[in-house]
Amino acid sequence: MSSAKPAFKRILLKLSGEALMGDDAFGINRVTIVRMAQEIAEINRMGVQVAVVIGGGNIFRGVAGGAVGMDRATADYMGMLATVMNSLALADALDKAGLTARVMSAIGIDQVVEPYVRPKALQYLEEGKVVVFAAGTGNPFFTTDTAAALRGAEIGAEMVLKATKVDGVYTADPKKDPLATRYSEISFDEAISRNLGIMDATAFALCRDQKLPIKVFSIIKNGALKRVVLGEDEGTLVYA
């Protein structure tokens, strides 16, 4: 176990599905997901209780052409199933990294994963297991960002860590504007007034109302997750 003292006891890690692709066009890059599992294992062994919500964009991207013109609710349910696939893949990688992972789904797939039951999820976290919340909120029209905010509030997480391919929130798109600078921290109200689009509006409002801070950082950077949980200046902190 690391001698460094983490800044948090319990966190909700929101992984974008795209972050699992590595350099691939879609799907799951095995090297990438193994590295992420190892980084999660490192902070878990430091004593941090970790829950995870994963998006499904990397899987759904492979069938996006066929979804054109599809009923929105149907497409959203397909997206939920994509998150279940990602959650199973991450749980497998976590198990191989020496952790015990439990996947809990918001929609009933009892032969594949457990149903989401809040007291059971809390028990798993207290036991040191990693809990992976699959299938979003279980409802169409809500994103996995909203699921992360909701589950984070339900389990009493101290922070939602939004892990993407970008190392924080910038004043402008850094790919288009070389003068764009990264915010070290920014308030919810300022982020809204500047229309920064950190999360979808429902998720952002829920985090603000619950005074649940968000840290946006790059999961692509080696060691970034550990630096975040140690309270170092990594990514962008969004606070109430």
Does residue 14 have a known ligand-binding role? Answer: yes
CA distances from 38 to 17, 19, 35, 95, 223 (A): 17, 15, 5, 10, 10
Does residue 143 have a known ligand-binding role? Answer: yes
DSSP bridge pairs for 104: 114, 133
Among candidate residues 67, 54, 47, 45, the one with its CA nearest the CA of residue 21: 54
Does residue 139 have a known ligand-binding role? Answer: yes
Does residue 116 have a known ligand-binding role? Answer: no
Does residue 16 have a known ligand-binding role? Answer: yes
Does residue 176 have a known ligand-binding role? Answer: no
Does residue 76 have a known ligand-binding role? Answer: yes
What's the burial of 5, exposed, middle or buried (CB within 10 Å: 0-12/13-18/19+)?
A: exposed
Does residue 235 have a known ligand-binding role? Answer: no
- Contact between 60 and 23 (Cβ < 8 Å): no
Q: How far apart are CA 176 and CA 182, in angstroms?
A: 14
Does residue 173 have a known ligand-binding role? Answer: yes
Q: How far apart are CA 18 and CA 36, in angstroms?
A: 13
Does residue 26 have a known ligand-binding role? Answer: no
Does residue 171 have a known ligand-binding role? Answer: no
Does residue 15 have a known ligand-binding role? Answer: yes
Does residue 170 have a known ligand-binding role? Answer: yes
Does residue 8 have a known ligand-binding role? Answer: no
Does residue 146 have a known ligand-binding role? Answer: no
Does residue 138 have a known ligand-binding role? Answer: yes
Which three-class secondary structure state does DSSP give residue 70?
coil
Phi first, then psi: give them for residue 237, nearest 5 degrees. -95, 125
Does residue 12 have a known ligand-binding role? Answer: no
Does residue 23 have a known ligand-binding role? Answer: no
Which three-class secondary structure state does DSSP give residue 15?
strand
Annotated binding-site members for UMP: 56, 76, 137-144
Annotated binding-site members: 14-17, 56-57, 61, 76, 137-144, 164, 170, 173
Annotated binding-site members for ATP: 14-17, 57, 61, 164, 170, 173
